[in-house]
Amino acid sequence: MKAIALTHYLPSDHPHCFIETELPDPTPGPRDLLIRVKATSINPVDTKVRAPKAKVEATPRVLGWDAVGEVVAVGSEVTLFKAGDRVWYAGDISRPGSNSALQLVDERIAALAPKTLSDLEAAALPLTAITAWETLFERIGLNRESTGRLLIIGGAGGVGSIAIQLARQLTRMEVIATASRPETRDWCLAMGAHQVVSHHKLQEELAGLGISQLDAIFCTNATEQHWNAMASLIRPFGHICTIAESSEPWDLGLLKAK
């Protein structure tokens, strides 16, 4: 099968940062789906995994996590899918990725792709949607009856855009997003945010809206930059959840403060 892979972790402007290669067709394990990839997208995970370093792969490494495709074969213990099913998934960082003609994915981390979305649209969603869902409903613990004020920092990004929509559709929270440019402010409002404030003047603009405390905060970027403001704004026993990007000891990925 054809694949786009790497052996050396070169800068992105290097002509050989990726290579086109031929690899053996993979054989499904007991719980695996063999998927013919129809569309894949680039996620920040791709850039972080591929960041330049001295490491050299003995065999070509295939990246790519967000994807949609058709099941062409199944493992001996698969019960959830059959050949011909159209599925989407975020893949597994420990296995070859979706930048290939064929890919193996454990059936337990795949789902039927929405019929209302094209392949290109569906491939852009898995990791952003999973991150937004886990943050709101598993980490922060929101539900359909949740009320109060939710702040989403970075509302115009991929995860933030999904989080705004999920919070509006599946909770009763007042959703406040941050964005700094006219076009990103308009995007957040189009996604369903009740209010949009600038992350450069976070406390000042919230105060202008008569808001001094928040019940929950989801920070999708620049955790260190916003940490002091978040700590000042969160109500006692409120929740802060962040996709942490820090070298500090409290950087544990998804950080939950309670």
Each residue of 231-255: pLDDT tens digit? 999 999 999 999 865 444 333 344 3
Which residues lie below 8 Å from residue 165, measured CB to CB, with a gap of 6+? 191, 192
**What's the pLDDT at 45?**
85
What tens digit of pLDDT does each residue of 47-86 get? 889 999 999 999 999 999 999 999 999 999 999 999 999 9
Q: What is the mean pLDDT of residues 131-157?
A: 97
pLDDT beyond 60 at 257: no
Do 99 and 5 meet the contact criterion of CB atoms below 8 Å apart? yes
**What's the pLDDT at 59?**
95
**What's the pLDDT at 256?**
41
- Burial degree of 43 (CB within 10 A; 0-12, 13-18, 19+): buried
Average pLDDT of every residue of the chain: 93
What tens digit of pLDDT does each residue of 80-93 get? 999 999 999 998 99
Count of CB atoms situated within 10 Å of the CB of 45: 17
**What's the pLDDT at 245?**
57
Count of CB atoms situated within 10 Å of the CB of 126: 24
**What's the pLDDT at 244?**
65
* pTM for this predicted structure: 0.84
Collapsed DSSP state (helix, strand, coil) of residue 206: helix
**What's the pLDDT at 252?**
37
Pairing of strands 149-153, 214-219: parallel
Report the C-alpha gap between 148 and 194 in whole angstroms: 12
**What's the pLDDT at 44?**
83
What tens digit of pLDDT does each residue of 183-219 get? 999 999 999 999 999 999 999 999 999 999 999 999 9
Residue 87 φ/ψ, nearest 5 degrees: -125, 160
Beta bridge partners of 9: 53
**What's the pLDDT at 258?**
35
Which of the four pLDDT bands, split at 50, 70 and 90, describes residue 43?
Answer: confident
Report the C-alpha gap between 77 and 160 in whole angstroms: 37
